A and B are shown apart, each in its own frame.
Chain A
Amino acid sequence: MTDTSTSIRMSAGTRIYLYVSLSLVAALVLVPLVATALGGFKSLGELRVNPFGLPREWHWSNYLDILFGDRYWRQMVNSLFIAVMTVFLTVVASAMAAFTLAHVKFFGANQLLNYFLIGLMFPAATAILPLFIRIRDLGLLDTYWGVILPQVAFGLGMSILLFRNYFRNLPEELFQAAFVDGCGYIRFFWHISLPLSRPIIATVSIISFVNSWNSYIVPLIMLNSETKYPWPLGIMVYRGEFGTQWQLVLAFITLTILPTIIVFFLAQKHIIAGLTAGAVKG
């Protein structure tokens, strides 16, 4: 099936079979998305009779009202702030911990790694109630930090694993050369490990950004005021309010997923590599 031998030309039959099958699946993926985007341009009445096709009349107001209101932007900014802080703290905390686990020999290093790897085994949902109580007791309920800190904590297992494996694969002699040149651990981390780790920093950042950007259950439980809601929460509230006016909901969905889609197509290589790296290298 994987005869990519370039020298042999594919038969026309194979070619047709491939394109027809692939196009069919692609249509199944794209039709709901396109119908959503187009639906945002329609009136409710038209949606009822013609959910598939191009709108007879383009109702730009559905989109423009959302874009000129502050609700959409506030949610985007909330999501962005939470995601950026999550990424920053995850990268800093996990890179430092992974560095000590990879390079500093100390009693219990392996046990400590295994301790962090426990985090890979169960989702945040498992401990969501005690987590809620902890955040409440810390006075962080309904704050951004009440969302950020648990998200960082649950991302640590995978991030530490990725960083540690990467640091481990840096040649041992590099460390020794730096030691001879006068580096201690901290200088080595700063001058050698970090500058050489750009690919893995990118991977960890992408994974934790996407997770945070799309995160639903943690903010759902930790936040109460709508002004602090990230977009997955906001979109649910919006849908609750305008439940019967599908054209508005569709426009809202389209606008909220638009940044994801744009960024995905701009940086597809890095994003795909990053999101699958966790699976392959972890």
Chain B
Amino acid sequence: MTHATATMTAPSAVPTAKTRYKSPTVRGRLPVLILFLPPALLLFTLFVILPMGEAAWYSLYRWNGYGSPEHFIGLRNFQVLFNNAAFSTALINNGLIILASLLLQIPLAIWLATMLAHKIKGAVTFRLIFFLPYVLADVAAGLIWRFVYDGDYGLFAAIAGFFGVATPYVLADKNLAIYAVLAVIIWKYFGFHMMLFIAGLQAVDKNVLEAAEIDGARGWQKFRYVTLPLLGSTVRISVFFAIIGSLQLFDLIMPLTGGGPLNATQTMVTFLYTYGVMRMQVGLGSAVGVVLFVICVTLAFGYKRIFMRHD
């Protein structure tokens, strides 16, 4: 059909010896690849990927960081780790932090977000105040709360004095300390999650809510059967960040308790710091890194696969 009309060139015009032409879109690719990729690639490989690989390697050795790792001990570091009571506490604490995020922080964030979705005066100001702790450094927040919890000079001391009860030294109490830490974590991060939900609520089609209203749904029903399901993807993102955040928690713990008292508030990273870095046990510290890495990757992949398939 292509040679159907007289205006077509005769088939003989096709070159007999087929010349291969280099496409113009391919030209010019090489310079950009050579100039633009190496900086990121080099930095990333040198300071992210290789150290991670080295952590796996070092974790099989007993090594103080000087010379080269020679004392191969197989999986002994991992054995030590899982028999270590402080490490078990750290694992449990990381779990507790995730639990607190799910049961307290996210519901609080959703509650505040739905309240701020009302067109009321001052909504923007409230939003700012709630977000404020999130922009503060963990270290500063930890120190501020250390003051709040202080049994001699802090706000807790004053409150206890007001009620005439003995001043609790919460951060020094090995049973209470972790809950005090949890409260600070929620204080610090709920604003971030609230912002996610505010963004999520803004994406909810107002017409759908009006349709629900016409169908007779009241306040709570409307929330339970329409708003909440529509917020599904935001909830999943929020939970994801809560989990990842809890696994890397370190900066906040150090000024508050430093992992104490008696290791009661260790997390995996503070454990790594205390036992790996401070004592220069490179092998053991690397083993913690490997465990953390495996947990992170498993969670990231598993979570994405199970819950975020459709997002």
Contacts and interface: CB of A to CB of B under 8 A. Distances in A.
A126 B289 contact: yes
B140 interface: yes
Given A48-B152, A265-B128, A280 B209 contact: no
A2 interface: yes
Contacts of A6: 119
A22 B115 contact: yes
Contact of B43 (A3, A39, A130, A149): A149
Contacts of B213: 3
**Which has the most chain B C-beta neighbours within 10 Å: A50, A149, A156, A279?**
A279
Q: How large is the interface on B (under 10, 10 to 19, 20 to 34, 35 or more residues)?
A: 35 or more
A19 B250 CA distance: 35
**Which has the most chain B C-beta neighbours within 10 Å: A1, A5, A31, A279?**
A1
B277 A134 contact: no
Interface in A237-282: 239, 246, 249-250, 253, 256-257, 260-261, 264-265, 268, 271-272, 275-276, 279-280
A77 interface: no
B31 to A, nearest CB: 7
Contacts of B143: 235-236, 239, 249, 253
Interface of chain B: mostly helix, strand, loop or mixed: helix
Interface string A220-231: 010000000000
Interface in B215-272: 219-220, 222-223, 227, 237, 241, 244, 247-248, 250-251, 254-255, 269, 272
A196 interface: no
Given A21-B115, A29-B187, A275 B41 contact: no
A29 B196 contact: no
Contacts of B199: 276, 280
Given A125-B292, A272-B195, A2 B58 contact: no
A206 B138 CA distance: 17
Interface stretch (B2-10, B49-57, B91-99): B49-57
B117 interface: yes
A3 B241 contact: no
A130 B55 contact: yes
A128 B272 contact: yes
Interface in A151-180: 152-154, 156-157, 160
A81 interface: no
A55 interface: no
B155 interface: yes
B36 A126 contact: no
Interface in A1-42: 1-6, 10, 14-15, 18-19, 21-22, 25-26, 28-33, 35-36, 39
Nearest to A256: B140
B138 A214 contact: yes
Interface stretch (B14-22, B78-86, B293-301): B293-301
A131 interface: yes
A214 B153 CA distance: 26
A47 B154 CA distance: 8
Given A26-B129, A232-B139, A104 B32 contact: yes
Interface stretch (A61-69, A88-96, A197-205): A88-96
Given A2-B117, A96-B40, A36 B144 contact: yes
A144 interface: no
Interface of chain A: mostly helix, strand, loop or mixed: helix
Nearest to A150: B47
A129 B140 contact: no
Given A33-B132, A51-B158, 5 more contacts: A4-B206, A21-B115, A28-B187, A100-B33, A189-B36
Interface of A: 1-6, 10, 14-15, 18-19, 21-22, 25-26, 28-33, 35-36, 39, 44, 47-48, 50-52, 89, 92-94, 96-97, 99-100, 104-106, 112, 115-116, 118-123, 125-134, 149-150, 152-154, 156-157, 160, 184-186, 189, 210, 213-214, 216-217, 221, 232, 235-236, 239, 246, 249-250, 253, 256-257, 260-261, 264-265, 268, 271-272, 275-276, 279-280
28 contacts: A1-B117, A1-B219, A2-B223, A21-B115, A25-B112, A32-B148, A32-B187, A36-B147, A48-B153, A48-B157, A93-B39, A104-B32, A125-B248, A127-B51, A127-B52, A128-B273, A129-B289, A130-B51, A131-B51, A133-B65, A134-B47, A153-B46, A154-B48, A157-B48, A160-B40, A216-B137, A216-B254, A232-B139
Interface of B: 25, 28-29, 31-33, 35-37, 39-41, 43-44, 46-52, 54-55, 58, 65, 111-112, 114-120, 122, 126-140, 143-145, 147-148, 150, 152-155, 157-158, 187, 191-192, 195-196, 199, 201, 204, 206, 209-210, 213, 219-220, 222-223, 227, 237, 241, 244, 247-248, 250-251, 254-255, 269, 272-273, 276-277, 282, 285-286, 289, 292-293, 296-297, 300
